[in-house]
Amino acid sequence: MLTRREALLGSVLTAAAVATIGAMPAAASAKEVAGLPRERITLVAPPFVHAHDQVAKDGPKVVEFTMTIEEKPVVIDADGTQLNAMTYNGSIPGPLMVVHEGDYLELTLINPDTNTLAHNIDFHAATGALGGGALTLVNPGEQATLRFKATRTGTFVYHCAPGGPMIPWHVVSGMSGAVMVLPRDGLRDDKGRPIRYDRIYYIGENDFYVPRDEQGKFKKYETAGDNYDDTVKVMRGLIPTHVVFNGKAGSLTGENAMKAKVGETVLIVHSQANRDTRPHLIGGHGDYVWEQGKFANPPAKDLETWFIRGGSAGSALYTFLQPGVYAYVNHNLIEAVELGATAHFMVDGTWNDDLMTQVEAPRAIATQ
Amino acid sequence: MSFNPIVALGSVAAAALIVMGATSAFDRFSSAGSFVASPELVTLAPGSFDHPQPGEFLGKGHPVAAPRILTTISAPLKIMKYQVSAAEYGRCVTAGRCKAADTLDSDNFPVTGVSHIDAEAYSAWLSAQTGATWRLPTDAEWAYAAGERFRGDIEGGTDDPNNPALRWLAQYRTEAALGRKSDPEPRVKEAFGVNSKGLADVAGNVWEWTSTCYVHATIAADGISTLSSIDNCGVHVVEGFHRTYMSNFIRDGKSGGCAVGTPPDNLGFRLVRERLNVVRAALRRLGFA
Ligand SMILES: [Cu+2]
């Protein structure tokens, strides 16, 4: 938990922290970093992503972000079930931050005194100090600024990790998001040819563990602290009560379904900070999929379903070929349908009969 | 030495009856149920000692060792000789004023599996029952009473602004070198002996809540004076074999505790008693805060 030895969460993590010391890449001096151009980005709530260049126009820069942590109750399903959420910037998941390889990502993390808990941020894209967690622990009423160099390309999870049992509890209360580090010259296909996207959506998947009362009804708690004991018991069972996209069952359907047009190429970034998942686009494919999310590896082609390991973010690029409504699901269909992990794409355009045609509509079975 | 509520009431009840009217006073009196025996106390004479401050400290923007400050306990300190027992706590649970702890209800064992919130609830209930003010000790009071058994934070002792990892590694080595093994089974009263101040079971396998909030502070170049600080009273200082910091709602020290090899085995508490003036004491006994 909150100890002076915050950074030291156990031998495994410590070994990892130790291993990073010594392997120092050529380091820019503070003065050199101070001389870099700076860009200030205003984050937008998922599934949308702030405007960014796919191919970097200039040299490395310092990209500044600010996130304010909000502890607040949120409704996570159509029945009104309440989660005492902890959020980066008010959304579940936290916003996607996009930079280029060689840029410096500089985040100011604000924990207003209206909150009750200490929080921090562990960037899987960053190197050292438990992903920055050891340097960003902020009490209510504090803020901290962390800068790290984006040395590896890909999509990476970030999450809260304030020590010990606070870590999983904060993560399953909503505190995760993702960073995308693009190659300076943009994405490449499996043959090394440049590829671009017309739209990008960021889908964060969350598993929630809401305790139930004796009647089996979901319990409501005044504050996050009140639910801690009960929630940990549910968490230890490892069976989530909710598996949702964008913080709520049905939050990317209906009015909020994601939009695209036939012929448009869409990059879907999918993160899951805690638990494995297997995205699938019903009626479509993954043309190019970075399952592990890291752009230095060639993308896999033509996938039907891809696997996102808990604690990682993957990316899939797809050019829509048919109009219609597509379901984008976690293809454990129980989780998709019963627990909430379903999103929709509404795709406008002209039908391609060659790709599919209904030769005969359903009718009574023909007698011989 | 122990406080006898019956005697205390004998001398003060009259004042309260005048204030309240006799009938309602007796109603409150009888509904309060049986008297609670006052716990055995140790009285410590005032004194001063060098106290390493709890919390996280920055100097010039980098973590530094906590300042050691000469701290004075200016009045005699009355503190429980023993940690609050499971049976004592159980009476508060029976009265509907405390949440059941995660332990057996035995008189000879300290209560464990209690949060800061639980400890506060017990203090309030005991105060109402006895007519005295019972509260958690401050971190400084606990340290004073712990005497030779006080350890404080496990410090790395290394501050290099150019390499924060040196401090993390040093702290890890120091803590690992202490070699304390997990010892989760609460022991019978006094199993860990009595310290030089006369307190039993200090720094055994039950860590104790204090009333001191977790703090982030920036200290001046002298290494002593505080330039600015931010309290987080959602987290309190917990004392025992070593000092740690816990969110108020944590009841299980093993899973809720400090991160390295030696989390608190258990969370419990003991209280200090403040004496009130007689009229206030009577009002409190009769159910008025
Ligand atoms: Cu958090």
Lowest mean pLDDT among A144-158, A252-266, B11-25, B185-199: B11-25
A19 and A139 belong to one structural domain: yes
pTM across the whole model? 0.84
pLDDT for res B287 = 63
- Whether A139 has a pLDDT exceeding 80, the answer reads yes
**Rounded to whole angstroms, what are the CA distances from B278 to B130, B180, B281?**
12, 47, 5
Where in the sequence is the domain holding A268, given as residue range(s)? 199-348
Return the structure tokens found at B239: 């004392």
Whether pLDDT at A249 is above 70: yes
User: Between chains, do A1 and B246 touch, taking CB under 8 Å as contact?
Assistant: yes
Structure confidence at residue A312 (pLDDT) = 98
Tens of pLDDT, residue by residue over A185-207, are 999 999 999 999 999 999 999 99
CB < 8 Å from A in window 132-161 of B: 153-155
pLDDT at A67 (0 to 100):
98
Whether ipTM exceeds 0.85: no
Q: β-strands B244-247, B56-59: how paired?
A: unpaired
Residue A359 is assigned to a structural domain of this protein? no
Q: Taking 90 as the threshold, does the pLDDT of residue B262 lie above it?
A: no
Q: Are residues A102 and A210 in the same domain?
A: no
**What mean pLDDT, rounded, does chain A reach?**
92
Q: What is the pLDDT of residue B282?
A: 66
Domain B5-285 architecture: Alpha-Beta Complex (3.90)
Mean pLDDT (whole number) for B170-187: 84
- Is A50 annotated as ligand-binding? no
pLDDT at A309 (0 to 100): 98
Q: Are residues A172 and A43 in the same domain?
A: yes
Helices (H), B83-115: 86-94
Q: How many domains does chain A have?
A: 2
Token code pair at residue B279: 């009229």
The confidence score (pLDDT) of residue A336 equals 96
Q: Which residue of B has its CA nearest to A227?
A: B249
Query: Considering the domain boundaries, does residue A361 fall inside one?
Result: no
Structure confidence at residue B180 as a pLDDT band (50, 70, 90): confident
* A contact test, residue of B99, B173, B232 with most A CBs within 10 A: B232
**Angle (nearest 5°) at CA B176 between B174 and B179:** 115
Q: Verify whether the Cβ–Cβ distance A118 to B235 is below 8 Å.
A: yes
Provide the pLDDT confidence category of residue B106 given band limits of 50, 70 and 90. confident
Which CATH number characterizes residue A285's domain? 2.60.40.420
Across residues A112-125, what is the average pLDDT? 96
| β-pairing verdict for A154-159 and A342-348 | unpaired
User: Cα(A160)–Cα(A123) distance, rounded to whole angstroms?
Assistant: 9
- A158 and A14, same structural domain? yes
Integer CA distances (angstroms), B133 to A74, A223, B28, B125, B137, in order? 40, 28, 19, 10, 12
Judgement on whether residues A241 and A178 belong to the same structural domain of the protein: no
Same structural domain for residues A27 and A131? yes
CA–CA separation, B263 vs B244, rounded Å?
9
Average pLDDT estimate for A260-279? 98
Say yes or no: A138 and A250 in one domain: no
How high is the pLDDT of residue B105? Answer: 66
**Per-residue model confidence (pLDDT) at position B32:** 42
> In terms of domains, do A163 and A15 share one?
yes
- Statement to judge: residues A204 and A142 lie in one domain: no
Same domain assignment for residues A215 and A165:
no
Please report whether residue A162 resides in a domain. Answer: yes
List of chain B residues whose C-beta atoms are within 8 Å of the C-beta of residue A228 = 247, 249-250
Predicted confidence (pLDDT) per residue in A9-21, tens digit: 333 333 333 344 4
Is B171 an 8 Å CB contact of chain A?
yes
Radius of gyration of chain B (CA): 21
Residues A223 and A290 in one domain: yes
Q: Do A9 and A136 share a domain, yes or no?
A: yes
Name the residue with higher pLDDT: B10 or A289: A289
- Among A182, A214, A241, identify where a domain stops: A182
Is A160 annotated in a binding site? The answer is yes
